Amino acid sequence: MSGIYVYSDRLEIAAELIGFAKSGGQAAYALCFSQAEADQLASRGADKVIYLKGDSPLPENYGKALADYLKEQDAELLVVGATARGRDMAARVAGYLDCGMVSDVAALDYSNGQLNTERIIYGGAVVQSETISGFCVVTVAGGKFSPVSGQAEIKTVAVQADPRVTLVETAPITKEGVDLKQAASVVCVGLGLEKEADLKMARDLADVLNAELGCTRGISEERHWLPVEQYIGISGAVIKPQLYISMGVSGQIQHIFGVRDAQFIVAIDSNEKAPIFKFADYGIVGDMYEIIPLLTETLKA
């Protein structure tokens, strides 16, 4: 069955990818690796749900089976949700089939057997446009397309899972952070903050502004001072607040990628050469330990 094949380990993204495939008028086949996923996908508007059935609980172990199946079906395109699992599986399929792949595209268009994509490189500094003809693989983050609905038949295909990697255990990560994507204002702390207790200074400012607290990657991934949901950037949250105020954030491009759509960017940093000032609407060069409490007081008044 020639057509567009879609896969995501997240049901919502899978539904959006089906919506993308249908929007171009092509047949959309939704792939999955468990009966439960198949049942849920069945009402999401695909032309068919294809359940590759084997005996491993790890989707990654079906990489080879999926590649073989797509080849056998003469698939045109594989579109995968850009999650950790999705990216991994997509790249495996591309590796087995030695074909082109574009990761985490910002825009894509598929017509007449040609895939045209745009994606950012160099942490967000550069946008690269690529085209690929022939079967290829692309990954896309959630939220780009509208899901559709409609009943689909489930086709079960028995396949061999790769037995080499086995599951030992899985533990849920409890989300403790706030959803910065909805925030109207965000106060952001960077590695210029000397110690965890000083977060209070940022919180006080955030309270006055009715803002949420965000941070750079190092604050959550290295120092573990704030939950990972709260770091902003290309590998973290991409936000669109009216106001973003940073303190002790140098403004490396990977972080800035996450705040590009802020209406106003305000930066407080002690280094006048910090790149953040190039990306800011307003800025003060100075010690945040002096400036931020003053700002909080001024805004209270």
Partner 1 sequence: MSKIIACYKWVADEADIRINPDQSVDITKAKGKISDYDKNAIEAAVEAAGKLGGQAVTLTFGNAGAKPSIKDALSRGPEEAYWVKAAEADQADGAVTARALAAAIQKIGDSSLVICAEGASDTYARQIAPRIGAILNLPVISSVIIMTFEGNSLVATRKLEDSLETVKVELPAVVAVLPEANNPPLPGLKAVMAAGKKPLTEYSAADLGIDFKPRNQVVAVKGYVMNRKNIIFDAGDSVSRVKELAAALRKEGVL
**Count of alpha carbons within 13 angstroms of residue 192, beta-carbon side:** 24
Site for ligand FAD in 97-136 (CB under 6 A): 123
**1, 53, 54, 60: residue in contact with partner 1 (rule CB under 8 A):** 60
Whole-angstrom CA distances from 100 to 95, 136, 138 are 9, 5, 9
Q: Which is nearer to ligand FAD, 32 or 249 (CB)?
A: 249
d(CA 168, CA 197): 37
- Which of 11, 147, 221, 227 is in the footprint of partner 1 by CB under 8 A? 221
In the stretch 150-179, what mask flags binding to partner 1 with x, by CB under 8 A?
Answer: ------------x-xxxxxxxxxx-x----
Within 188-247, the residues that bind ligand FAD by CB under 6 A are: 190-192, 216-218, 231-236
The C-alpha atoms of residue 212 and residue 243 are separated, in whole angstroms, by 11
Q: Among ligand FAD, partner 1, none, what does residue 166 contact (CB within 5–8 Å per kind)?
A: partner 1
User: According to the annotation, is 268 in a ligand binding site?
Assistant: no
Instruction: Pick out residues in 251-290 that bind partner 1 (CB under 8 A).
Output: 252-254, 256, 260, 263-266, 272, 275, 277-286, 290
DSSP 65-132: HHHHHHHHHT-SEEEEE-SHHHHHHHHHHHHHHT-EEE-S-SEEEEETTEEEEEEEEGGGTEEEEEEE
Choice between 27 and 238, CB closer to ligand FAD: 238
Structure tokens at 232: 């902003």
Task: For residues 161 and 149, give the distance between their C-alpha atoms in angstroms, rounded to a whole number.
Answer: 30
Contact set with ligand FAD (CB under 6 A): 123, 190-192, 216-218, 231-236, 248-250, 252, 254-255, 269-271, 274, 287-289
